[in-house]
A and B are shown apart, each in its own frame.
Chain A
């Protein structure tokens, strides 16, 4: 049984004029436990919406998103929040670290709404991403590369089964981007977490053995034409 199974997933938004515009229409997608897949897609192709649907940040219009046996698409919002807190990590392009919290506290926050905080694990994760000297620094005191490493540690904090990464190298230079991808992939492997990454950057995608075209999965035009 795959970790993630998506079936007939649809999501659209209403334009200001009241016209519904389909954004995501994925008939089928799956991801095995521990598998690492990169989705290539251009800006505006619906990649982020797709990840938000998987994470339960957005509610699907229809279809199902089976994650480890639970259908994210069928859950109420609070249950989606709980499932996200317990089973998923999310790495954002803009890192989305909380500026009022130290590196260590940002990582602890990644655990706070799930299975509970574990300071030793948070410290170990930060050590693993090379920030043992920066535990009590605030994000503004770090370089962008270091901030992304904190985001990686936070995404892995709650023992996730699935890590979602949305353009994680979009704000990094090429050296940092290469290091970040290697770090994300390696730490996911070490933590037995599957990784689903979306990007349009060729260098990032080049680091993956399994790269799939998002446009071949997502076909909102087909839905619109129906």
Chain B
């Protein structure tokens, strides 16, 4: 069955589109809404000064901080998000829907609200923060706070991408692995996660991108101290009036990073998924 299945997508007959032609009008308008601002940004870049603008002390400090904090928060997202997604997808427990809804919240909450919440949980007078302060640990307005804020807003992206993939994949292969003698940990790492790898990669990349762009929660919970909590988005916001050219230059850096990362990861994930659909029906 697999040997005769064409690997290329089935050709569609020209002149017989499967969607109404007029859909093109709102579709193009939608694409323009997203593309035009990016073009607008590019037209404002002072190309001559660009290298100097993105290597100023403030810009370099912000870029270095963003790189560091995004690396940490992405790692945290994976370490915490994978178990969370597996729990939600594989265990049946009372109140699971409630848990899922609450975990979804950061996706729809204004980030500034999340920042306030973080402050009242981990801040000096917060729920846990008070006890942490007694132990000599201060989180608010430190680099740790930046990482927490980024993790808070980015976690749901991974959890929901992965949970959906786990549910769609089902438990058939896990059952096979179990009867072959594989314990739960071996099954999870060698079978389950390998099967949902594209979703794990896509979810991680989305989460990293979201962490990189985090602004509201960071500003509220971590403040804006150069080299400590002032990430690239905060630096852009600060420079926007003082030095618009610097803000635009940094913005362009973020745009390029975002496009490259999404293209690589999403392209890769889609290719893997397509290859699996094309060749893996029987497996």
A interacts with B: no
List the interface of chain A (C-beta within 8 A of B): none
B interface vs A, CB < 8 Å? Answer: none
